[in-house]
Amino acid sequence: MHSGSPTSGVGRVIAGRYLLLNRLGSGGMGHVWLAHDQRLACEVALKEIVFRDPAEADEREARVARARAEARHAAGLRGHPHVVTVHDVLEHEGLPWIVMEYVEGAVNLRDLIDRRGPLAPAECARIGLAVLDALTAGHRRGVMHRDVKPANILLAPDRSGAPYGRVLLTDYGISVQPDAGETRYTMASVLVGTTGYLAPERVTGGAPTPATDLFSLGCTLYYGVEGRGPFDRESHLAELTAVVMEEPRAAGRAGALGPVLRALLEKDPARRWPAAEAEAALSRLVVPEADAYARTQTDLGSQPPWGGVPPPGPVRPVPDVVGFGSPAGGWSPGPRQPAGTGRRVQHAVLAGLLGLALAGTGVWYALSQQADTDGTRRPYGAAVGLGEPLKGGDCVLADWPGTAAFQGTPRLSVDPSCGEKAPDGQVMGFVAAGSAAEARREGPAGCEKRTEDVRERLADVRSVAVVPTEAGFEAAGRRTACLVLGGHGPVFGPLGEHRRAGSAFADTATMQRRDCLDVRSRRDARLVSCAGPHDEQVLGFARLGADVTLSEARTESDTVCARVVPPRDYGFDPSVYTAGSWTSEGSWKTGTHFVVCTVRRQNGGTMEGDEP
């Protein structure tokens, strides 16, 4: 046995609990085993770190750190219907083992294509939509997967028995969270990823971004429908050269999927489709255009077995008094029905379904360019309904025309109080243009970039571009307004730089990563400068399972945050600091089940701005 190499084999018991039954597969970092959890009497998958060569022991520390990072990133998406659940990471004989959900009957997309040949475009679009949903959830947390490829997509039977109904993204082994101050465990000179699936900007040394994952998704969907990669060549070097210098092979079987592939395989990341446009286009391939409501329920068969589908519930009014709390506290405003025919952005979320942001860019623009029926010139068209151009920091209410948000064109109104009416979002910036045509062409992508920072700091928001009409271009100030809207409900108040120090949080929806909190009580937290005394600092977010009740969350969230967002990973001394959390009733009413994870001193004292 090499130094640091664990002994492997069927019948071995790991950490006194997990009995290895048989090997499921192998990868770059080690083996995946089917194991029996002797404590809970169920089967799990265990990922084992293996050093096959004595020389590899030199990078032992980096390998171990990458395994811990993989577990942390995947666990941060715990409960997502299209991500393989990570239960725990444990130490055994000096090395970590990752305990994961065992997906019975699963086959990866690469093996499936090898077995039965290329997929139909609509089936490939269904798989792509699920993977995109998983990637977007990670991107909202600042986590880039960096290795999207057919072998990392699992297809498994769903609850109805359809053999490939469930779609799961797996293997966050080389994922990275670049904006979290996280240590990178790969050398700068090492190209991380799979040749033929890397984005051109990554091959030439660029940083990982959401756009790089989307390029890899485009390569993966191309493989699914064509049976080979768009840049398959005889050698790895030839593949890398093709990714940077050559256009992808023309797709012969893609049909209606072809435009999506071309848009995702754009070499220039600035011209590549963002997630919202890809989501809208893929959804139209899965569900007919005419069936608008069904499009929000993309592929019921792809839900996990525990994802029940309740019907949309009634919209309840916001109470006059709201509560807000730490683990044992309670809280917060729920959705409401406004006057008028449209529903607010807050809507019932169907458990286990894909959340489709269909209105974010091109779809919104196409629908908002209706002629003004009353003869007036509104800057953004009659459908949007605003008589004046939006200003920076405006809080907005969004009334959607149907039963679900992010479909069709919402009628916008401004909430001057930015809080009394539980706003759905806020204007976070603008994209200037020389003409209405340029605004149509450049506005959506510009807004995606302009709002990227604040979106990565919040748990559940989406970017939306409000593009002026031809007639209203001058009145709109010759620019597109960039909104950030709550993904599944109101944001309840100011966002980002528009918040004032000392203001009380009305809801966890406005808490951002690295916010510092003055905690007056378990129901009252205020935003304060991190340079001065404060009680807690926000580190990130955790998403609890669909079966976890709010009362359970209030007692379990500290423990979950300690595991998913451990303060030690951010440089906090575990002998001094501990994990904390804040929960929200609104998060449970919308079905998102997000909790905010913080760090605080164990003795209850204040933090003085000298932390990492």
Q: Which amino acid is at 73?
A: H
Q: What CA–CA distance (Å, rounded) separates 223 from 226?
A: 5
* Backbone phi and psi for residue 266, each to the nearest 5 degrees, phi listed first: -60, 130
Q: What CA–CA distance (Å, rounded) separates 511 from 325?
A: 13
Q: What CA–CA distance (Å, rounded) separates 150 from 330?
A: 43
The pair of structure tokens assigned to 100 is 């994961």
Question: What's 91-154 look like in SS3?
Answer: EECCEEEEEEECCCCCEEHHHHHHHHCCCCHHHHHHHHHHHHHHHHHHHHCCCECCCCCHHHEE
Q: What CA–CA distance (Å, rounded) separates 107 from 142?
A: 28
Determine the number of helices (DSSP H) and then strands (DSSP E) in the chain.
14, 20
* Backbone phi and psi for residue 7, each to the nearest 5 degrees, phi listed first: -70, 130
Q: Which of 37, 114, 133, 147 is labelled catalytic?
A: 147
Q: Which amino acid is at 540?
A: G
Torsion of CA 134, 325, 490, 460, to 10 degrees: -20
536-543 and 516-521 beta bridge pairing:
antiparallel
Helix (H) or strand (E) holding 45: strand 42-49
- The three-point CA angle 464-423-137 to 5° equals 50
The pair of structure tokens assigned to 326 is 């730490």
- CB of 412 closer than 8 Å to CB of 428: no
Q: What CA–CA distance (Å, rounded) separates 139 from 276?
A: 12
- CB of 51 closer than 8 Å to CB of 57: yes
Give the residue among 312, 293, 485, 282 at the shortest CA–CA distance from 408: 293
The torsion region of residue 116 among left (phi > 0), alpha (psi -120 to 50) and beta comes to alpha
Q: What CA–CA distance (Å, rounded) separates 455 from 435?
A: 28
The pair of structure tokens assigned to 159 is 């609850």
Q: What CA–CA distance (Å, rounded) separates 360 from 490?
A: 16
Q: Is 88 a catalytic residue?
A: no
- CB of 121 closer than 8 Å to CB of 227: no
Is 47 labelled a binding residue?
A: yes
SS3 22: strand
Token look-up 């959607």 returns 400
- Residues forming the active site: 147
Binding residues for ATP: 47
Binding residues: 47
